[in-house]
Amino acid sequence: MQKLTKKDNFFENFSEKGIANFRYIYYNIQCKWGIVDNCGEKLLTISRKAVRNMRGEYSHAIDGKGRLFIPAKFREKLGTTFVVTRGVGQYLSVYPMDEWEAFEEKIRSLKSKQALELQRYFVAPAQDSMPDGQGRVLLSQKLRAHAKLDKNVLVAGMGNHLEIWDEETWDSMNPSAEQIESIMEEAGI
Task: Look at residue 132 and give its three-state secondary structure.
Answer: coil
What local confidence, expressed as pLDDT, does residue 131 receive? 95
Task: Look at residue 173 and give its three-state secondary structure.
Answer: helix
What local confidence, expressed as pLDDT, does residue 112 receive? 86
Mean pLDDT, rounded, of the chain: 79
Asked if residue 13 lies in contact with residue 25, where contact means CB atoms within 8 angstroms, the answer is no
What local confidence, expressed as pLDDT, does residue 30 receive? 40
Question: Which candidate, 91, 68, 67, 63, places its Cα nearest to that of 161?
Answer: 91
What local confidence, expressed as pLDDT, does residue 162 receive? 95
At position 165, the amino acid (one-letter code) is W
What local confidence, expressed as pLDDT, does residue 7 receive? 41
Which strands make up the sheet holding 42-47, listed edge to edge?
2-3, 24-27, 32-36, 42-47
**Which residues of the chain carry a pLDDT beneath 50?**
1-50
What local confidence, expressed as pLDDT, does residue 2 receive? 47
What local confidence, expressed as pLDDT, does residue 103 receive? 93
Nearest-angstrom CA–CA distance, 162 and 157: 5
Other beta carbons within 10 angstroms of residue 126's beta carbon come to: 20
What local confidence, expressed as pLDDT, does residue 52 receive? 64
